Amino acid sequence: MTRGDEVLERAADKLVEASRRAAARGGVAAKLAQPLAEDSAFLRNLKPSLVKARLRGGNPATPEPPAVPSGQQLAARDGARGAGPSPLALVAVAFAVGIALAKLMDWRGHAHPRD
């Protein structure tokens, strides 16, 4: 194992430990535990010796790929399509409000001219 492999292995081990601590803590930190564990698996795939073997056409043993998202994560969003006002209508309203504000400021500017 090269020095670069050792550095990446230690970093991956630290990520695994951090994900375990986050899972044990609970709450919002527990939600970050799974992504940290996936990051450690990804980091292990970046070892220089594995990259070198892949470039030479070898098929080095790699860790398991991350788990497929559950059905709940892949569920369609309810009412997300077509909800809310049209973006074109929002742009038109913003444009009209901008013009109205400009006219108001111009009108008030004539009341107190700077000579």
Tell me the domain boundaries of the chain: 1-61, 85-115
Higher-scoring residue by pLDDT: 75, 94:
94
Tell me what pLDDT residue 82 has. Answer: 60
* C-beta separation of 49 from 1 below 8 A: yes
Tell me what pLDDT residue 115 has. Answer: 61
Tell me what pLDDT residue 68 has. Answer: 46
Higher-scoring residue by pLDDT: 60, 90:
90
What pTM did the predictor assign? Answer: 0.48
Query: What sections of 46-86 are H helices per DSSP?
Result: 48-55, 71-74
Residue 50 exposure: Cα atoms within 13 Å on the Cβ side: 15
* C-beta separation of 64 from 38 below 8 A: no
Helix 48-55 vs helix 3-25: crossing angle, to nearest 10: 120
pLDDT reading at 25 higher than 50: yes
70-99 average pLDDT score:
75
Write out pLDDT tens, residues 26-84: 888 888 888 888 888 888 888 888 888 888 887 766 555 555 445 455 455 555 556 68
